[in-house]
Amino acid sequence: MPSLKPVRGTHDLLFDDVVRHRHVEQTALTVAGRYGFTEIVTPIFEFTEVFSRTLGDTSDVVTKEMYTFEDRGGERLTLRPEGTAGVARALISGGLAQHLPLKLFYRGPMFRYERPQKGRQRQFHQVGVELLGVEKPQADIEVIALGAQFLEELGLAGKIVCELNSLGDTESRNAYREKLVDYLSKYHDSLSADSRERLERNPLRILDSKDEGDQKIVADAPLMSDSLNDASKRFFDDLLKGLELAGVVYKINPRLVRGLDYYCHTAFEFTTDALGAQGTVLAGGRYDGLVSQMGGPETPGIGWAAGVERLSMLVENAGDTARPVVVVPVGGEAGDKALEITQQLRRAGFTVDLGYSGNLGKRMKRANAQNARAAVLLGEDEIARGVATVRDMDTGEQAEVPLTSLEGHLGRFY
């Protein structure tokens, strides 16, 4: 029988972890809203084909990491390993192409069967954006600028570097593919088994290999930039000019690639050295061929996703949580009045905790543990006189306050 503990690669979010997690998500939602993005919520599981067709049958995610199962109706389903495929599916199945361009924001849990490590879990959370229907580099500029501002508002501007590269258009990628195959074929017997298979089907996937031997071979592979045609160079130049105008600091990483064929032009990552080996906290790119590969209309798109857990580990100031008012009834007859006052204060907008049991000392000790800003003490005599004793928890000062003036008095503490 399984032990009563979290499944490996999952964890409970409590206390400060919840505060940081919520702060990251809320900051992303707020900044995305300023850029005109609206939220979309897709199911956490899809038909397996949604991911196998978009991530590639030979990708590590599809072959090794997806949580796939057959339901009682015999349908083959998969817990989503990432968010873009679900958004693209929603575009097709929901007939959203008539509403292009679309600017969409998403957030929520994702699932991958990986070896758990710092900042990486089997159930993890992402925030992300997708801009669909704009083929010009202005979309790329806006999406990258949004990511930069999101990270800046988390207080991470000095810890993060924006790296980017051009993958070129289809013509450029085909020219690069030929050069890459010529180079890798020389090392055929030294490549990993997975990469030898990919050499025939999708050689660009080898550039994403996690195998150390493959990585050493790839380190000296031809650069994508040497295969860019004039149109691709203009696109990239316009992107760089726009980023400079938007105030986004970047560096070009010629080894930054995306292995799947539907990616083109812009690839980018925001990285940090503050998390050890797990350096990427936000990554994205242009995927003009994705929607059509899934069976939908030709639809240009660009987006990014960011790991909430990794960003939460970097956030130092998650904002102040509301310090509560604690209502403490003293004596058995004071409970009903305390409940009534507690509800009145909550409706007035205060965060209020009602002391349930224990003597006065224990209740005040709990109030201190909750970082309460004020305590409202209610005894039978005070209730009879229509007053309450309000204690300033920071200074220890107390004052009798008429119940009719309680809200106004407590408002001074906030």
Cis peptide before 2 (omega within 30 of 0): no
Output DSSP code: residue 348: T
pLDDT in tens, 157-202: 889 999 999 999 999 999 999 999 999 999 999 999 989 988 988 8
Element of type H or E holding 303: strand 301-307
**Residue matched to tokens 């084909």:** 49
Per residue in 299-329, pLDDT (tens digit) is 999 999 999 999 999 998 787 678 999 999 9
What is the pLDDT averaged over residues 293-302? Answer: 96
Q: How many angstroms separate the CA atoms of 21 and 24, rounded?
A: 5
8 A C-beta contact, residue 49 and residue 75: no
pTM score above 0.85: yes
Amino acid at 377: L
Mean pLDDT over 384-397 rounds to 96
Domain boundaries, the chain: 16-169+229-314, 325-413
Burial status of residue 367 (CB atoms within 10 A of its CB: 0-12, 13-18, 19 or more): buried
CATH superfamily of 325-413: Anticodon-binding domain (3.40.50.800)
Residues 133-149 have pLDDT tens digits of 999 999 999 999 999 99
What local confidence, expressed as pLDDT, does residue 277 receive?
Answer: 61
How far apart CA 103 and CA 174 sit, in angstroms, is 30
CATH number belonging to the domain at 16-169+229-314, selected among 3.30.1490.20, 3.40.50.300, 1.20.120.430, 3.30.930.10: 3.30.930.10
CA atoms within 13 A on the CB side of 219: 8
Mean pLDDT within 333-356? 93
Q: What's the number of CA atoms in the CB half-sphere (13 Å) around residue 358?
A: 12
Distance separating alpha carbons of residues 184 and 196, to the nearest angstrom: 9
